[in-house]
Structure 1
Amino acid sequence: MDAPTGCGTALVTPFRADGSLDEPTLYNLAQWQVESGIDWLVACGTTAETPTLTDEEWLRVIRIITEAVAGRIPVWAGATHNSTREAAQRAALAAKIPGVTAILTANPYYNKPNQEGQFQHFRAVAQATAQVSDLPVVLYNIPGRTGTNLEPATVLRLIDAEPNIAGVKESSGSLPQITELLTLVPRSFHVYAGDDNMALGTIALGGAGLVSVASNQIPTDMTAMMHAALANDWTTARRLNRKYFRLLQANFWETSPGPVKAVMAMMGKLEEHYRLPIVPVAPSTRAKLERIAGELGLLVHGPQPEGDLGLF
């Protein structure tokens, strides 16, 4: 399947109060996303609290999402680890799951490898994927979470080295770096915004779309904003961005997905449970989130409880 354009959701992982996966809610969330017109889904990305999932849970989340989607839209499977061997093994496992259409893999976290280390790491993941499937690999540059930045020159080396590396989710937060990347990469290579508040700038520079956090809450309008921008309908794109800008910012007032899940619970989409080290947002943050959600017409319930303390 060709690399998608538009808006993809980095889907949250719902949990029950006892810390177990809330599988029916996850299935329903994926269904709702498809019905809301989202262009693709990301299973087991950063927003999914993936580092807290066991290997078995990681596979189960991907399978539930692909089953719910049933081939209607693409599904990217997150395969990230700070051990190159583990990341490569995960990519190979995920690539075999029916319905998975791409592998998304982030910088190795904690190790802080240099550019050569990242080159060798991503190359190994791409090669492991190619050994079992013809799926594309999308790199994921998120230095704020991993402690290391994937530079444009290294991306170019990877494109030349491994033909299945088809795109990058850019979450560096650096518009100059995104501009450099889009200036240098082949037109067939897709650069996706990894930050909601950088989406319009990335599209204006030639980006292919957005992997969104806010689309967990507002999939229809985030998709409409991306489609408008890609169609050069900047009046519509800017109007939607202005409407939801406070929510896009609020989702990162505290560590994601804390604010995202808090608002989704207010919307009645899930029960608000986390796994440590993620904890519920502070009461002051919750109050402000509820006010914004109310002003945007997202609330379906009254004030929500503060959620459990994420003891699992």
Structure 2
Amino acid sequence: MDLIGCGTALVTPFRADGAIDEQSLYSLVQWQIESGINWIVACGTTAETPSLNEEEWLRVIRIITEAAAGRVPVWAGCTHNSTREAVHKARIAAQVPDVTAILTANPYYNKPGQEGQYQHFKAVAHAVKLPVVLYNIPSRTGTNLEPATVMRLIEDAPNIVGIKESSGSLPQITELVTQAPRSFSVYSGDDNMALGAIGVGARGLVSVASNEIPAEMSRMIEEALTGDWPVARQINRKYYRLIQANFWETSPAPVKAVMAMMGRIEEHYRLPMTPVSQATRSRLERLVGELGLLVHAPQEEGDYRMF
């Protein structure tokens, strides 16, 4: 799997009655692809996946793959703190047509050590033939997947082909890039670290902000990967406040609030996620208005080469 660019960790839109808003989800996929996004992650962290039962989880993956229709790769999120359950989910997802890779994160809550994580990820990888992308996100799971453990996994499970790195540590990302085989892909899992990660050799970004601005984020990553750093930095400068705003409160509450302001989804959540506070909402509304993103507001392309 030689995939570079920007992928979107897509939100799951809900209706007021709590059901998945399938029509909105289908439309989001169309918009993402039309905007130039390089791949889509179904049922990642931003999708409120822990709030989906297995039937809903599988339905979301199917809707996204059907909407994508092979135009872009689709990664299926298969994370569980029970290795047996993670293996079970990976096997089911691998049978869905057009799922191109399995994305699986550290086992949460259990806080396994390096050996436990090694055994866990190896079991998931050995259970499927699809490429597997590791997902290291210590802020959510309570445990860090160290580069030395990643190297063991690459050696013992050849279908582990990449990692979404959300440790927030540029030195750790650099260590992975410099130690892993060239065939292994490191992706930034943090929008605010994307340019730094690409600067040391990462192959792209799995983005939250691309839910709101897919064309802009995909262009920023493309420019960075092709070495046009002035353009990439200018795009980053323009939208960095939005990138930060998506984490003013626990994600995905801010990003779903912004997408509702843009008219892309209705703003509904599954408990324990709740809407942002009124103070945060007011700040978001002001920011989104300043960026010209309200309710499909037409935007000028802009010359990002101008400083």
TM range (shorter): over 0.9
Deviation string 1:115-159 (CA, Å, 9 cap, x unpaired) is 0000000000000113xxxx2100000000000000000000000
Runs of 4+ residues deviating >2 angstroms: none
Q: Is the 8 A contact 1:137 1:166 kept in 2?
A: yes
Q: Can you give the 5+ residue segments of structure 2 that lack an aligned partner in the other structure?
A: 298-307
Determine the structure 1 residue equivalent to 2:266. Answer: 271
Determine the structure 1 residue equivalent to 2:66. Answer: 67
Deviation string 1:181-213 (CA, Å, 9 cap, x unpaired) is 111101110000000000000000000100000
2:86 and 2:275 map into 1 onto residues whose CA distance is 29
Deviation string 1:10-66 (CA, Å, 9 cap, x unpaired) is 000000111111111101101110111100000000000000000000000000000
Determine the structure 1 residue equivalent to 2:25. Answer: 26
2:139 corresponds to 1:108: no
Deviation string 1:54-112 (CA, Å, 9 cap, x unpaired) is 00000000000000000000000000000000001101110110010000000000000
Identity over the aligned pairs, expressed in percent? 73
2:199 maps to which of 185, 200, 204: 204
Q: Is the 8 A contact 2:165 2:188 kept in 1?
A: yes
Q: Is the 8 A contact 1:266 1:301 kept in 2?
A: no
Code of the aligned partner of 1:52? S
Q: Is the 8 A contact 2:7 2:207 kept in 1?
A: yes
2:174 corresponds to 1:179: yes
Deviation at 1:176, TM superposition (A): 1.1
2:158 corresponds to 1:159: no
1:227 and 1:301 map into 2 onto residues whose CA distance is 24
Q: Can you give the 5+ residue segments of structure 1 that lack an aligned partner in the other structure?
A: 303-312
1:102 and 1:79 map into 2 onto residues whose CA distance is 10
Q: Matches of residues 94-105 of structure 1 in structure 2 within 5 Å? A: 94-105=93-104
Q: Matches of residues 40-189 of structure 1 in structure 2 within 5 Å? A: 40-130=39-129, 135-189=130-184
Code of the aligned partner of 1:100? V
Cα separation, partners in 2 of 1:182 and 1:301, compared to 1, 3 Å: closer
Q: How many residues align?
A: 297
Code of the aligned partner of 2:182? R
1:92 and 1:290 map into 2 onto residues whose CA distance is 42
1:174 and 1:79 map into 2 onto residues whose CA distance is 24
1:3 and 1:86 map into 2 onto residues whose CA distance is 28
What TM-score results when the alignment is normalised by the length of structure 1? 0.94
1:69 and 1:244 map into 2 onto residues whose CA distance is 27
Deviation at 1:179, TM superposition (A): 1.1
Determine the structure 1 residue equivalent to 2:230. Answer: 235
Determine the structure 2 residue equivalent to 1:195. Answer: 190
Code of the aligned partner of 2:269? Y
1:79 and 1:140 map into 2 onto residues whose CA distance is 10
Q: Is the 8 A contact 2:15 2:21 kept in 1?
A: yes
Q: Is the 8 A contact 2:163 2:187 kept in 1?
A: yes
Code of the aligned partner of 2:75? W
1:108 and 1:145 map into 2 onto residues whose CA distance is 10
Q: Is the 8 A contact 2:2 2:183 kept in 1?
A: no
2:250 corresponds to 1:255: yes
**Cα RMSD (Å) of the superposition?**
0.9
Deviation at 1:217, TM superposition (A): 0.2
